[in-house]
Structures are given as structure tokens and as C-alpha cells.
Amino acid sequence: MTNREKNCSTLFAVEGRPFFGTLIVVSVIVAIAQCAWWTLLLGGLTAFVMYFFRNPERVVPQEAGAVVSPADGRVIQKKTVMEDKYLGAEAIKVSVFMNVFNVHVNRSPYKGKVVDVDYIPGRFINASFDKASELNERNAVVIETEEGKKLLFIQIAGLVARRIVCYVEPGDSLERGERFGLIRFGSRVDIYFPPDSEVNVKIGDKVVAGETVLGVMK
């Protein structure tokens, strides 16, 4: 069973198990050795790591054309851009910034077939900076919808993030709201809408992956 399949039914993302599993073992050993302060410190760290890798279920909207947020967090950018590399067309770009307290499991914003996945090595500057879209390590996914439109979303590593995980590859199918990957420890996801879409969110809005409708494709 792949991690994509496993994460459909687990309370915590499977990628977190090595982290909090190790911390639990070390915490127990330290507790047995009666090192009170270390036990408290490691217990707190273990709780935080488990919280970070939580993998909650979401109620996905079913309205026609609804494009849901690919990430939990806050909208930090919304503007019309020329996206030459993957779409070769004008697009409406929306950026969602995830801090370390947000759920970091990413979800597909729409139903469609994956036509391109492109991983680009890069830097690890603060993901809230606009230049992170071009300089940071990132992973781009393009899906083609049943209506024949293309939707681009890009996972972007941040200042602390050092690992982008993507479960899909070209030829795979995604459902709206389906988990497709995650980014460890603070990051961002950009989504590029077709230019005739109605994008309703504004800068500063808090959004929830798989539930918050960012806009509607016409």
C-alpha cells in the first residue's frame, strides 16, 4: 500500500511516524532513568510533532466548479500573472502560507487527471516572501479537468521546511479534496486559476485544505 493510500485513513500522516516514534521511545527511556526535566521537554516535543503531522478528515464541497484550498493557512497573495512555464497563459495566482501550527497535508483543489509533475531544487528562504515562488525548492502539479481546463498548484518549501512530499505522477487521477502530498515544517502552496475564474478569497483570509472554496471555474 502506498503512502497516498495509507494517509486516506490514518489519524497522523505516515511520514511523521519516524519522527514521533523515535521521540516516544527516547521519552520512555529518559522517564525510566528518572530525568524529570528531560522527560517533560521530550514529552512536549513529541506532542508538538504529533500535532504537526495530524491528518484530519475534511468535508469536501460538491458545488459545480468549486476550487478548494490545497492547504491550510492564510492567503498572502492574490493577483493576475502571466504563467509561462506550465500553462503558457495568463492566470489568477493565489498563495496560501502555512505556519508550523497548520495542518501540512496538501489536498487537490479540483478533480482531474495529472498531466505534469515537476520537482525543482532550490533555496529555503521565508515562504511568505514573493520571491519564494521562483527561488525556493518546489514541486509543481498540473491537472487537466474534465472540462478540458488546466489547473496548476505548486508546493513551496519554506525557511524551516526541508522536505516536499508528493504522491502523484503524470497519468494519475485526483478527486477534489484528495490528499496528494505534504510539506514538513512551515511552507506555502500557490494555485493558478484560469483567468476567467471567479476567485472569492482575499488577502488575509484563513483557509482550510479541502473545505474552503477559493473560487469557481466557469
Annotated active-site residue in 27, 69, 95, 187 = 187
Q: Look up cell 502560507; give the residue.
A: 97
- Edge-to-edge, what's the strand order for the sheet holding 112-120? 173-174, 112-120, 138-144, 150-157, 187-193, 89-98, 73-83, 206-207
CB 128 within 8 A of CB 76: yes
Is residue 9 flagged as an active site residue? no
31 to each of 17, 18, 26, 160, how far by Cα in Å?
21, 20, 9, 29
The residues that are catalytic are 187
